[in-house]
Structure 1
Amino acid sequence: MLVLSRKKGESIVIQDHIELTILSVEGDTVKVGISAPPHIDIFRKEVYLSIQESNRESAAPTPANLEALIQRLRGPS
C-alpha cells in the first residue's frame, strides 16, 4: 500500500484520469473529493462489499434452481 500525506486542498492523481482532492480535515474525519471519468464506478468500501456479497448470493445455485436446470437440460420426457 502506498501511503501519502496530503493537506487540505492538495491532490493525488492516479493514471491521468482520477484525481483525489482533500477537501477538509475535522478531527478523525477527512472529506475527499474524487474526479473520475463517468465510466469508472466509485463506491465506499462497505457498499462495494455489500454489492459483492449480493452478487455472490444471486449467482449461487439453490437446490430448486439446480433441479429446474437439470430438468431443462434433460429436455422433454
Structure 2
Amino acid sequence: MLILSRKENESISIGEDIEITVIQTNKTYTKIGIKAPKSSIILRKELVDEIKDDNLHSIVSDDVKLDDLSKKLKQ
C-alpha cells in the first residue's frame, strides 16, 4: 500500500485520467474530491463490502434450498 501525506488543496494523480484532491480536513474526517471519467465506477469501500456480504449470504441460502430440493427429489 502506498501512503502519501497531502494538505488541503493538494492532489494525487492515478494514471492519466484520475485526480484525487484533499478538499477539507479536521479532527474527525477528511473530504476528498475525485476527478475521473464518467465510465469509472467509484464506490465507498463499506458499500462494496456490504454488497459482497449480501451476495455471499444469498449464495449460502440458495445452497441450503437446493440441498433440500435435491433430498426431496431423491425420495
TM-score when normalising by structure 1: 0.73
The letter for the 2-side match of 1:62 is D
Gaps of 5+ in 2: 71-75
Normalized per residue, the structure richer in helix is 2
Closer/same/farther in 2, CA of residues 28 and 13 from structure 1, 3 Å limit: same
**SS of aligned partner of 1:54:** helix
CA distance in 1, matches of 2:67, 2:39: 35
The alignment's C-alpha RMSD in Å is 2.1
Structure 1 runs of 4+ aligned residues shifted over 2 Å read 57-68
| Identical columns (%) | 36
TM-score normalised over the length of structure 2: 0.74
Give unmatched runs, 5+ long, in structure 1.
71-77
